[in-house]
Structure 1
Amino acid sequence: MTELLVALLSAALISHYLLRLTLPGDPQLERRRVHALGLATMLLVAFSGLSACLLDKFVLQPLALGALWLFAYVPVVILLSQPLLNALARRVPALPFDGLWVPLLASTGVLSVALLGPGNAGELIYSLGIGPAFWLVLSLFNDLRQRIDENDIPRPFNGLPVDLLSAGLLAVAFLGLNAMIKP
């Protein structure tokens, strides 16, 4: 549970920071881009998790190349990302999918490498559950950032420092859920 939380928060913080660099100012456009990135990440992690599981089971394991799972997984993610963004741009024209390739690869890479490692029995279950959880955390960061922008924050804390403090407080809040699940 803790590694899932750390991976979700780090991927959301990285992606949110990359979105903030490309879109300063317009909160409505930023919210739509957050939802576009969340949807694209959810689908890319699910498709690439399924593809990586099939690649591992039918190609890497029979050839005794299981140690090279990362070198096989990264090209799968890269090859699936651009067609997925093009398909989503055609299917959901209300969301702006242009310019999301780098944050999409960054968030999918962090989530997948941290949680979909080799030998993980729940790889397919994780690949289906990581995307919606990432979308939720990214939306929470966006809402928190909009509230912070409306308040008077001291100058040394503007920008990344307040984001890091917010991520730490959010992590502590989510760690309170860790006690609810008994092994």
Structure 2
Amino acid sequence: MTDFIFALLGAALVNNLILGLPLGADSLRQSRSRALALAGGALIAVATPIAWLLDQFVLVPLELGALRLFIFLPLLAPLAWLCLEGVGRACPSLPREGLWPLLLANGAALGAMLIGSESGFGVAIGLGLGGGLGFWLVLTLLDDLLQQVDETKVPAAFRGTPMLLVCAGLMGLAFLGFNGMGAQ
């Protein structure tokens, strides 16, 4: 149970899949980031335990562990579609156009699947839930931060991508403050 708690908190705060590990940097700034945050978080939460089950009950008995990447990549397509449809049904007001390719190429989901498949089931569930929560949290906070930055006077040299990188770096430092949480 403690492995589950540590994996949950670690994936959400300490080793955040977007800021701590460069696994989801493709999703940092989109106009539809609220829908992407929900769908991406759900994708990570669902895909990680499914990848563990697939690995333990299919790939390991058949000695195909070396093919994890090639098996998990096609698995992301139907899971991304299901998560996007689920977000569409849960929150129909959120725009979903153009999000499927971003979810399909979500490095955070694939990274969580690969990391989770090499540990126990409790850790895989904790990593999936924590990673999904962390993905949603980072995109939501970054979107709020960038909206505040857009409303202020920013020098011309810092507008656009430079300000996005500064904000992402500051958020990475803020989340780095959670490092060592739970250590004794």
Q: Give the TM bin, normalised by the shorter chain.
A: 0.7 to 0.9
Within 5 Å, which residues of 2 pair with 1:91-170?
91-107=90-106, 109-113=107-111, 116-117=114-115, 118-121=117-120, 122-170=123-171
Within 5 Å, which residues of 2 pair with 1:34-113?
34-107=33-106, 109-113=107-111
Contact kept in structure 1, 2:18 and 2:24, CA below 8 Å: yes
Match of 2:15 in 1: 4
Contact kept in structure 2, 1:42 and 1:135, CA below 8 Å: yes
State yes or no: 1:15 paired with 2:27. Answer: yes
Q: Return the structure number with greater helix share.
A: 1
Distance in 1 (CA, whole Å) between partners of 2:28 and 2:14 is: 20
| Per-residue deviation, 1:114 | 5.5
Secondary structure in 2 matching 1:63: coil
Match of 1:26 in 2: none
Counterpart residue type for residue 182 of structure 2: I
Change (3 A) 1:168 1:148: same
TM-score of the superposition, structure 1-length normalised?
0.80
Contact kept in structure 1, 2:41 and 2:132, CA below 8 Å: yes
RMSD: 2.3
Distance in 1 (CA, whole Å) between partners of 2:113 and 2:89 is: 30
Taking every aligned residue pair, what percent have the same amino acid on both sides?
Answer: 40
Deviations 1:26-80 (A, max 9, x none): xxxxxxx322112211221122112211110111000111111111111111122
Distance in 2 (CA, whole Å) between partners of 1:173 and 1:43 is: 24
Deviations 1:108-129 (A, max 9, x none): x234316742423322210111
Match of 1:29 in 2: none
Match of 2:182 in 1: 181
Contact kept in structure 1, 2:72 and 2:113, CA below 8 Å: no
Counterpart residue type for residue 110 of structure 1: A
| Per-residue deviation, 1:13 | 4.4
Contact kept in structure 1, 2:18 and 2:138, CA below 8 Å: yes
Change (3 A) 1:73 1:12: closer
**5+ residue gaps in structure 1?**
24-32
Contact kept in structure 2, 1:35 and 1:95, CA below 8 Å: yes
**5+ residue gaps in structure 2?**
1-9
